[in-house]
Structure 1
């Protein structure tokens, strides 16, 4: 754990662990939760959430 803390304090990019697969794990989890809700509730409206969330993230990343 101290290695992660050292990288953060030295402003180094984390590229191991979960960060080797996904840059923002919490966003990936939210997208997976929305996809699971589609199957659990058999409600296709949750697909709209996925698309809206993806668009919002894309715009936010483009503007930062």
Structure 2
């Protein structure tokens, strides 16, 4: 099982991760990416790859 989180300090709200997430668990709210269901992460690391600031991180739990 994987869990995704977003570092709000690093997030610039570009939306790249929200558009790229195949699980559809990332959304933009208040100009920042937010995780709707951190436990639904597939662990694909697409959000990590597309983010220009390194805001998303994925951990295996």
TM-score range, shorter chain: under 0.3
Q: Which has the higher contact order (CA 8 A, sep 6+)?
A: 2
Q: Normalising by the residue count of structure 2, what TM-score does the alignment of the two structures yield?
A: 0.24
Give the number of the structure whose alpha-carbon radius of gyration is greater.
1
Q: Normalising by the residue count of structure 1, what TM-score does the alignment of the two structures yield?
A: 0.23
**Larger % of helix: which?**
1
**Larger % of strand: which?**
2
